[in-house]
Amino acid sequence: MDKPAGPLKGRGATYSPQNRFRRDEREAFDDGWSTADADAEAPQTPKTVVTIQPARTIIARNDSPDIPFTQSINPYQGCEHGCIYCYARPSHAYLDLSPGLDFETKLFAKPNAAKLLSAELSKPGYVCDPIALGSNTDPYQPIEREWKVTRSILEVLSACEHPFSIVTKGSLVERDLDLIAPMARKNMARVYISITTLDPKLCGCRSRWRRCSARGLPSTIRCAPST
């Protein structure tokens, strides 16, 4: 896909590069037969499309000494926030999609996450260790408002009194303080608020951090990167 002339409103990427696993490559070429109007309107911002991803398991595990948690859950694949620097972008290539615009417009939700989590926590051999939400993509990205997958996960963790942490830049985290705050009072929940700019006109994260802290949540601000 050709790069558009300028940025697309509401999107971080400007085009969709080929993913690294494809054996073939395609490139647009003007052979002179094009009838496109040079004065045609600029390309429209692509809409977000959410596809259900029936997961078989929901807890991802790692034993890396460089990662401060051993268990994590990602309610969604792809992220509508569209941060251009996001390290999770290349993971869309495993779905034969682009790490560019596809990553922030072609999203996958796991509505059976809570059911799978309940089953995994009920296994006799399960070893309790804090679960990190948002290790790959933001659990409170805009589509959570409708799908509520993250909230369903928190309902299970709260009912089981299972410790967890959340990393997000989304304001929607405040919606679930009724679940998070009681767990925090038991020292079983922690929230990390991501800040991507120090411009007070663009960033509401600091006030969000203050409101979370006021509810008794151990809250931390993360700045990476900052402009």
**The two three-digit tokens of residue 130, written as one number:** 């804090």
Question: What's the pTM value of the predicted model, to 2 decimals?
Answer: 0.84
Q: Are 99 and 19 in contact (CB under 8 A)?
A: yes
Peptide bond into 46 cis (omega under 30): no
Instruction: Note the helical H segments in 8-112.
Output: 101-105
Q: Are 79 and 143 in contact (CB under 8 A)?
A: no
**For the chain (length 227 residues), average pLDDT per consecutive 10?**
65 81 69 62 80 95 91 96 90 91 96 97 96 94 97 98 93 93 93 78 67 73 59
Q: What is the pLDDT of residue 107?
A: 97
Q: What is the pLDDT of residue 201?
A: 67
Q: What is the pLDDT of residue 224?
A: 62
Q: Are 223 and 195 in contact (CB under 8 A)?
A: yes
Peptide bond into 225 cis (omega under 30): yes
Q: What is the pLDDT of residue 227?
A: 47
Q: Is the dihedral of CA 124, 125, 130, 132 positive or negative?
A: negative
The H or E element that residue 56 is part of is: none
Q: What is the pLDDT of residue 36?
A: 57
